[in-house]
Amino acid sequence: MDRRGVKFFNTLGRRLEPFEPLEPGKVGIYTCGPTVYNTVHIGNLRTFLFEDLLCRSLRFLGFEVTQIMNLTDVDDKTIRGAFEKGLALDVYTAPFIASFAADLATLNVVPAAAYPRATQHIDGMQAIITRLLASGYAYESDGSVWFRIAADDDYGKLSGFRKDEARVGERVASDEYETEDVRDFVLWKGVKPGEPSWPSPWGPGRPGWHIECSAMSAAFLGETFDIHCGGVDNLFPHHENEIAQSESANGVPFVRTWLHSEHLIVDGQKMSKSLGNFYTLGDLLARGISPRALRYLLISVHYRQKLNFTFAGLDGARAALTRIDDFIDRVENAAIAQGHEEEKLSVKVEALISGFSAGLADDLNVSAALASLFDFVREVNGMIDRRELGAGDGERILAALRQIDSALGVIFMPWGTAAAGDGEPSPSDVEIESAIAARKAARAAKNFAESDRIRDDLAARGVVLEDSPQGTRWKRR
Ligand code: AMP
Ligand code: ZN
């Protein structure tokens, strides 16, 4: 695949730019992970699936990708949640970390190279704060340490916020706030009664949210790296503050390309816990929705467009997948013609791969990429109707589909589509799907006794699993 010609819309500067990583052919990507204070909703999952599509697409286009995703396991929300439940912070966050991992596996997300947790990187955060204090970018007050916005000349360069609108000399202690509220923000919060704390040169306390990502990204990807992603709500203040901290401490550019995905919305509003207008993956599985249909829906809209979530949209995703599945069945069962013209299929396969690649290379234009797939399906269906496929053509078609599915992760995804949105919940499909997810997790943990047990159990109930490099498919006997 051709690595040249890849373009991204860089939020820093707000323009479409040719993409060139620091080191040719290798890309470091930092993706802000979930705050593990509850179960993620499908809005969050839209962002994580965009990031999965990005990493898969860059690999498809020939890059070697290292993705790091942090887990925010200490911040205002996790501390509040643990306090309310009377639990230690790590006991409170553990089930949410586990359910997040299960959701990613169910949605066929390629695991990141590492999922660092903020509580494991307190030393790195303190080292950055120490440098900021030494160079006058930070100061101590009220038992906490604050970032001095007035000292940072280019504060606001990502969000477009004008620094002269900041409330100079005032401070904001909360992790999240609006642009109307720009004040010196907190790097280290002095301990409060009942809160977890770590020792520090400035007394016991805990980190602010923003410093966590400055420390964890540098620990894995270095002080300057290629791509940083998140949902648009992360842009300000979180990412603006990450830039301020990292560049002021290190004296080098922090991130070359910033990519922000738009929100999943419901009735015109952002899907969010606070508005109560959300579904979790578990909610949808309980309604008999197939994870495959959800994955298709969430990746099929360009990441910079808002995506309005509806059940009709899931029906549309299921219909698109049925079209692809029917096509694969036809290819597998097509009559073989003698004396066919071999180049005819080659031309179509080449058009598929080049159209699909060009779409992804153009700022991840997934609509263009999918259009080339459906053009291919239509044209090859025509060839099958006219009995124009020869020996070996079926395998060449499937190989091309497998190739593009390394980016999409949805054609050979190990689930059926039958359950999605057809009015009748189909718990048995869902049961199979979660058993396959559990088996995948067991295999990842090298617990082969458990993975074999799950396979045998399914076999005893008439379900056969087929493992392939693309994942596991299942069939009823
Ligand atoms: P949080 O756990 O709140 O830090 O969110 C995790 C990720 O989900 C962040 O990258 C957010 O930007 C993203 N996010 C939150 N709500 C939505 C939404 N409705 N649609 C898409 N992404 C979202
Ligand atoms: Zn972050």
What are the tens digits of pLDDT across the range 269-307?
999 988 999 999 999 999 999 999 999 999 999 999 999
Q: What is the pLDDT of residues 214-269, one digit of tens each?
A: 999 999 999 999 999 999 999 999 999 999 999 999 999 999 999 999 999 998 89
The CA distance from 242 to 254, in Å, is 9
Whether the Cβ atoms of residue 202 and residue 143 lie closer than 8 Å to each other: yes
Q: How far apart are the first and last CA of the chain?
A: 39
Q: What is the average pLDDT across 427-446?
A: 76
Tell me the pLDDT tens digit for each residue of 93-107. 999 999 999 999 999
Q: Which residues contact 176 (CB under 8 A, 6 or more apart)?
A: 76, 209, 237, 238
Q: Half-sphere exposure of 362 toward its Cβ, with a 13 Å CA cutoff?
A: 12
Ligand 1 center from residue 263 Cα (angstroms): 8
pLDDT of residue 415: 61
Identify which ligand lies nearest to the alpha carbon of 231: 1
Between the CA of 227 and the centroid of ligand 2 the distance, in Å, is 13
364: left (phi over 0), alpha (psi -120 to 50) or beta: left
Q: pLDDT tens digits, residue range 443-469?
A: 888 888 778 878 877 877 778 888 877
Q: Ligand 1: residues within 6 Å at CB?
A: 32, 34-35, 43-44, 46-47, 230-231, 233-234, 263-264, 270-272
Residue with tokens 């031309």: 347
Render pLDDT for 301-312 as a digit per residue (tens, 0 to 9). Answer: 999 999 999 999
Residue 4 above 60 pLDDT?
A: yes
**Model-wide pTM > 0.75:** yes
Cα separation of 17 and 386, whole Å?
44
